[in-house]
Amino acid sequence: MEKKETNILLTFSIIGLLLLGNVGSAVAVKGNLNNNADFNDSVNCKPVAGSEAKIKNVIVMVPDGCSQSVQTLARWYGGESLQLDEMVAGTVSTYSADSVITDSSSAATAFATGFKTTNGFVSVGPEEDTLLSIVADPAEEYSPLATVLEGSKLEGKATGLVATSRITHATPAAFASHVDNRNNESEIMEQMVYEDIDVVFGGGSQYLLPKADGGKRADGENLTEVLLDRGYRYVDNETEMLSLSSGKTWGLFASSHMQPDIDRAEFAPEEPSLSNMTEKAIELLSDDKDGFFLMVEGSQVDWAGHANDPIYEVTDFLAFDEAVKVAVDFAKADGHTLVIVFPDHNTGGMTIGSYYDSEYDDTSVEDVVNPLEGMNITAAGVANKIGEDLSYDNIKSQLKTWWGIDATDEDVDEILALKNNGTSLDYAISEVISRNHTVIGWTTHGHCGEDVPLWAYGPDSPAGYMDNTEIAEYIADKLRFDLAETNEHLFVEVGEVFSEDNGDGQLDEDEYSLDMTDPSNPVLKIGDAELPVNKNILVKDGVTHELEGIVVYAPATGKVYIPTEALSLINGKN
């Protein structure tokens, strides 16, 4: 009991020091960041408004799963230089805590939090027994890790997320949620809703709705109603989105993922483009006088790489480049906005030149471009058009109509052989047509482990070689907050401050328990206060308080984490 009382007093002392601005010497850092960065002015500094230009806004943009091969192909295919060509700044290493080859969730955790983690984890510490030998000073196992979005929010900045995937997918999830399994998308969505992000655009509305209403949620909660109750506008099509002029907004434009850029006109014309979502998000967020943080993901460049689909890859990358231009145009006019762009990893290992082409040394521009010019939808779109009719005539007809390819019987033989061996029809189409009718090569349907490009624009933009963890540190430094202090402020482990319930049937004011009566809706109880897990809510004496951070439960360790703000409310010192 004495230890717990001491911890409570220590916590209030820390809060007092935070208010006095002396936290730097008072707060114990949870763990050292993977800090190899030197935050002196970058050699590639472009101070738009003069050498003393202050960075007020940061826009992070991620073309998920690509490399400079894709950038090269996009330039050939588009017939002109790209926005990104003007922004080449360096390279980024991508390995995760447990593998040379990262997945999107661990990669996004690194550049959102400054820590390496285990593949599949979302902004929580890694499993200790799987660490690579080169990973030093890892975060505490399974503990939540504060993100640059959360840090920006504490600084009073507006925040936003934009993606063409479900908004609960790995990359956006890592900026606004904390789970040890990227597939826990219902939990991720709940945390996102209660993070109070100002603007959210993407897909994935099924995770807002309970199963009874056609959604995916098993907990019975309707999070769309929560958003409306909290004063958000909610839109689900481009027309409604474009009509927005101010205010906090969620726009989810598909039940699951949005359509690929090249497929949108054919399959979902009501969905907005990535560049339109980016432009609207910037317009709404820039109303905040304190500035903003925005993350934009071109999610499906990655899926094109997985599918080995060249037209999907190049068109989604070009759509992403258009969104980058929107961001850079704003940054040029604003003068206080830093735009940082990088893939999370490469996917597919695309090459311009393939060992299947014996004359690749003599490849012309036309050899590269001409096979792609007749492709009007993705391979998945072609598979959709083929449907259940797998006759030779139908497959050849659809490939001619939608891809401009005069497929042979041998091509169809190969496609059907792959499909009959368990490959999806779209993957089979991409593999065979790439091999037999283009000069594009592929090395894998998975991720790759090499460094990826870094592009940047704005005051004191980064340059050179960076580890992905250093990107988070760089952003935090330029927006003038400390991620370690943010961690301490948002995630106090309850067991370090309060005693676990002694089981006498009465929860004393310095005791806590985790009520798992409804496993889908755990509730942390501390004395007479209740804090639902995954929410930023504390209920005490019949009064509901909104916290500045969410309550996070780590099932693997049984630990629960709450913001420091909750401690004063629990003890009646609001």
Rg (CA), the chain: 25
Helices (H), 422-538: 425-437, 468-478, 483-490
**Among 67, 104, 123, 143, the one annotated catalytic:** 104
Write the CB contacts of 280 (distance below 8 Å, at least 6 apart in sequence): 201, 241, 242, 244, 272
Distance (Å, rounded) from C-alpha 330 to C-alpha 436? 43
Angle between helices 468-478 and 483-490 (to 10 degrees): 80
Q: Are 236 and 286 in contact (CB under 8 A)?
A: no
The closest of 330, 454, 325 to 48, measured between CA atoms, is 330
Q: Are 209 and 223 in contact (CB under 8 A)?
A: yes
Write the CB contacts of 29 (distance below 8 Å, at least 6 apart in sequence): 484, 485, 487, 488
The closest of 101, 102, 148, 94 to 121, measured between CA atoms, is 102
Write the CB contacts of 455 (distance below 8 Å, at least 6 apart in sequence): 84, 87, 88, 89, 324, 340, 341, 342
Distance (Å, rounded) from C-alpha 360 to C-alpha 246? 53
The phi and psi torsions of 383 (rounded to 5 degrees) equal -60, -40
SS3 content of the chain, % helix, strand, coil (to 5): 40, 20, 40
Two tokens, residue 447:
């991720």
Strands 447-448 and 346-347: antiparallel
Q: Are 431 and 364 in contact (CB under 8 A)?
A: no
**Three-state helix/strand/coil letters over 134-177:** CCCCCCCCCCECCCHHHHHHHCCCEEEEEEEEECCCHHHHHHHC
Distance (Å, rounded) from C-alpha 32 to C-alpha 46? 30
Distance (Å, rounded) from C-alpha 93 to C-alpha 134? 13
Strands (E), 46-129: 57-63, 88-93
Distance (Å, rounded) from C-alpha 322 to C-alpha 301? 14
Catalytic residue list contains 104: yes
Distance (Å, rounded) from C-alpha 57 to C-alpha 199? 15
Q: Which helix (H) or strand (E) holds 500?
A: strand 499-500
Q: Are 309 and 31 in contact (CB under 8 A)?
A: no
DSSP code at position 77: H
DSSP code at position 258: P
Q: Which residues are catalytic?
A: 104
